[in-house]
Amino acid sequence: MASNRFHPPYSVERGRARFRASRTRLRASALPIAQCALAAGLAWFVANDLLHHNDPFFAPIAAVVSLGMSFGGRLRRALELMVGVTVGIGVGDLLISWIGTGAWQIVLVVALAMATAVFLDGGPVIAMQAASSAVLVATLIPPSQGGGPDRMFDALVGGLVGVLVVAFLPAHPVLRARKQAADILADAADVLQKVADGLVANDPKPIEAALKRARTTQASIDALQASLRGGREISRVSPLYWTSRPRLARMTAAAEPLDNAIRNIRVLTRRSLTLVRDDEILDPRLVDQIEKLSHAVAVLRRMVLADPGQQPDQAEAARVLRSVSIGMKPELVEDAGISATVVFAQIRSLLVDLMQVAGLSRISAIATLPPTVPKPGYPTDH
């Protein structure tokens, strides 16, 4: 019998998918790669050609490490690196000039450099940079070769060059976060539509798929937060994007309610799955509300991607969400079971979160909902 162990078409398709994923990663990382490369070359040029330091390799190293591949925390990382390198070089130069080089000397130098760094700040970057710099001093560039102060100054040059590259070759402080938020909202809309489909068909499979997808969104939320931190740094140091601060502030204000919305969607999806498995009775109008909410989230996604002056804007997204909220009346869960009541409450909470993403205050968002009195023992809306 022929073996079915290998499936060439599947293998080819999987290879293509991996190639597309790799290409997407490379495209997303193109700017930080260019920034690191340019900063390394500029740092070497400044330290070697302008300041005439001998073999100033600490300068390009400091520039690359201070930038890194992530957009968030670069200014703090640059400061920590400069402090760490300075501590490592200072401790290494001081001790190695007295006790010489060797295995036990390296043990002592690294321990003291890291202890000094932890005492000064405690950040992991400072401690690791202090240790690696001390090792270099103790092995490849002992104090006998001179240049101790120059080495510390090279680290400062590299860090400053890194900051200047971020200032004058910056990523857009808002664009990356907008795309990430739009992707999160696309996932949210798809999850809600699958939940509605599963409830209509009384079939758990679409809801199980929706729950699986909803559980993968936390990494996207974390990436959005990192992009916003990086955007705030860029808007502070880059004159090119000072005018983007108001939009960045709006995007930052929307991040927390977006996170809350995704959490509420997970709860809604789990309860919907329980509802179907328990064969609990559900008012069809409530299912219709979930489908309408999916469409409203799609509008909210387009709002996030729209440039200033384009439609849909915040007012249009809020209007669509209000059209859903006015239908969330307590009569939808009269004589309903606990799962249906929880789904009802989660939809109301979700609407409040999404309207905050659209720019409304929490109080204004809650005011758009019809009044309701929760049943004793059941969860409240907010």
Give residue limits of the domains in the chain: 30-168, 175-367
Q: Classify each residue of 70-92 as buried b or exposed e, where b means 16 or more C-beta atoms within 10 Å of its C-beta.
A: ebbebbebbbbbbbbbbbbbbbb
pTM exceeds 0.85 for this model = no
Encoded amino acid at 306, one letter:
A
Contact 381, 345 (CB under 8 A): yes
Spatial separation of the C-alpha atoms in residues 105 and 250, rounded to whole Å:
54
Give residue 378's pLDDT: 44
Spatial separation of the C-alpha atoms in residues 230 and 216, rounded to whole Å:
23
Contact 282, 340 (CB under 8 A): yes
Residue 361: strand, helix, or coil: coil
Task: Identify the H or E element spanning 337.
Answer: none
Give residue 2's pLDDT: 47
Q: Which of 156, 172, 142 is nearest to 59 (CA)?
A: 156
The class that CATH gives domain 175-367 is: mainly alpha
For residue 28, what are the contacts with CB-CB under 8 A and spacing of at least 6?
Answer: none
Task: Give the mean pLDDT per block of 10 residues along the chain (382 residues).
Answer: 48 75 76 85 92 84 73 65 77 79 85 84 73 78 60 82 79 83 96 96 95 92 87 77 82 94 96 93 93 96 90 94 94 88 94 96 94 54 44
Q: Classify each residue of 242-279 as buried b or exposed e, where b means 16 or more C-beta atoms within 10 Å of its C-beta.
A: eebeebbeebbebbebbbbbbbbbbbbbbbbbbbbeee
Give residue 270's pLDDT: 95
Spatial separation of the C-alpha atoms in residues 270 and 99, rounded to whole Å:
65
Contact 332, 290 (CB under 8 A): no
Give the other-Cβ count within 10 Å of 373's Cβ: 7
> DSSP characters for 185-228?
HHHHHHHHHHHHHHHHHT-HHHHHHHHHHHTT-HHHHHHHHHHH
Phi, psi of 70 (to 5 degrees): -95, 155
Q: Is 239 exposed, middle or buried (0-12, 13-18, 19+ CB in 10 A)?
A: exposed
Q: Classify each residue of 194-224 as buried b or exposed e, where b means 16 or more C-beta atoms within 10 Å of its C-beta.
A: bbbbbbeeeebebbbbbbebbeebeeebebb
